[in-house]
């Protein structure tokens, strides 16, 4: 009963390096989201997707790109990492919008040095 799975769980990057975070869900949810969580800031939405092949910007999209080529996967890319992107990243999915329950992955702790 996997739910939402994120890989990797931890990563250290040097400034300017690139990486991709993978999110996979096995609940056949249409909607998927990427959030970042910083101390004192709560969870902030980076990008989201309302279905396969679609993506949209959230509250803090700069420096990130996403893709949703398959319904079950939502990828978050950092093209040129910056120290300001040091954060914990959470992926989530839900079967509908309007504030229905979102299921979260376990998070990826990213440090950019």
User: Quick one: which segment of 15-23, 45-53, 62-70, 77-85 binds other proteins (CB under 8 A)?
Assistant: 45-53
CA distance linking residue 107 with residue 36, whole number of Å: 9
Q: Contact 36/103 with Cβ under 8 angstroms?
A: no
Instruction: Report the SS3 class of residue 41.
Output: coil
Q: How far is the CB of 18 from other proteins (least distance, A)?
A: 25
The only residue of 90, 93, 110, 112 in contact with other proteins, by rule CB under 8 A? 90
Identified binder of other proteins from the candidate list 24, 29, 31, 81, rule CB under 8 A: 31
Using rule CB under 8 A, residue 33 touches other proteins: yes
């Amino acid at each position: 009963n996997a739910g939402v799975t994120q890989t990797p769980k931890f990563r250290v990057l040097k400034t300017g390096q690139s990486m991709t975070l993978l999110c996979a869900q096995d609940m056949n949810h249409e909607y998927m989201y990427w959030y970042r969580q910083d101390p004192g800031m709560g969870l902030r939405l980076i990008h989201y997707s309302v279905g396969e092949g679609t993506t949209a910007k959230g509250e803090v999209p700069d420096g990130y790109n996403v893709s949703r080529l398959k319904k079950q996967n939502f990828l978050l890319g950092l093209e040129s990492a910056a120290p300001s992107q040091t954060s914990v990243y959470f992926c989530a999915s839900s079967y509908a919008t309007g504030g229905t329950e979102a299921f979260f992955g376990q998070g990826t702790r990213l440090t950019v040095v």
